[in-house]
Amino acid sequence: MAPPPILQTISIERLSDGAVLLTYNTPEKANAFTPRTYDELRGALVWAAEEEDVRVVLVNGKGKHFCAGRAMGGAENTIEAEIAAGTGLSQVLASYPKVLMAAVHGASVGWGCTQLTNFDLVYAHSSAFFQTPFMPLGLVPEGGSSYTFPALMGRPRANALLLAGDRLTAQEAYTGGLVTKVLQGSVEDFLDEVKGRARRIGGFSGEALGMAKRLIARGEGDAAARKREAGEGERMDLVVRFGREDTKKRLAAFGKDKAKM
């Protein structure tokens, strides 16, 4: 059993022999991602994938929110660096061999929302909300969401997020197919319950879980290729839009609002 990597933006906790908890650990930024966060999440996932005893990886966010998208400001937070780091993470997520679970509370915004299509099971606290403010910011969908959201939710519901920039409640996200189950109670009780579910799944046969994931992926046909194609198109358009002056002004205003989260 190799020791987990020591990271700055992600904490790693062994819940049981078969279950690992990864926590987004920058609550002062509402767990918004920098290029470093993408890289560190990739490293943590690679470590867990190589641990033979690990069956399930649960991801949550420290503090009041799950993940508020991309971090604003900072010389290192360029769109080029984000795309490079995000592409590396996507390559790991595309055929991840272990069961991926998410425990979402508070804000699930932008990448905090689009990343959820990579998870096998998504549990949401009743306080959670889901939003992709791409159009209000003058951007385009990312994370392959121009394909995955319509495929999961149908175009009308997907467009509420991708085109209208609407905020969905946890129940609306469940009805739309983005969330596995909505849980009530305190956030602490919610996290304890999802951790318990992860421990339970972590006790299943690793071989059977892996086989089941491969069979499910096979049944989805060319979905992985179509998601990859969508992501490539999104990345090209994002570079264009990030260079526009109107986008820069919108992002600056949004960054001031995000700082208050």
3-state secondary structure 47-113: HHHHCCCCCEEEEEECCCCCECCECCCCCCCCHHHHHHHHHHHHHHHCCCCCEEEEEECCEEECHHH
Domain assignment of residue 52, yes or no: yes
Does residue 137 fall inside a structural domain?
Answer: yes
**What is the predicted pLDDT for the residue at 253?**
82
For the chain, the domain total comes to 1
pLDDT (average), residues 182-210: 98
Decide if 200 is inside a domain. no
Establish if 4 belongs to a structural domain.
Answer: no
C-alpha to C-alpha distance for 10 and 158, rounded to whole angstroms: 29
Between residues 221 and 37, which one has the greater pLDDT?
Answer: 37
pLDDT at 261 over 90: no
Residue 52's domain is classified under what CATH number? 3.90.226.10
pLDDT level of residue 76 (50, 70, 90 thresholds): confident
Q: Considering the domain boundaries, does residue 207 fall inside one?
A: no
The pLDDT of residue 78 is: 86
Is 107 inside a domain boundary?
A: yes
Residue 241 lies in a domain: yes
The verdict on residue 181 lying in a domain is yes
Question: Higher confidence at residue 224 or residue 208?
Answer: 208
pTM of the model: 0.94
Given this model, what pLDDT does residue 260 score? 60
Residue 99's domain comprises 10-186+221-258
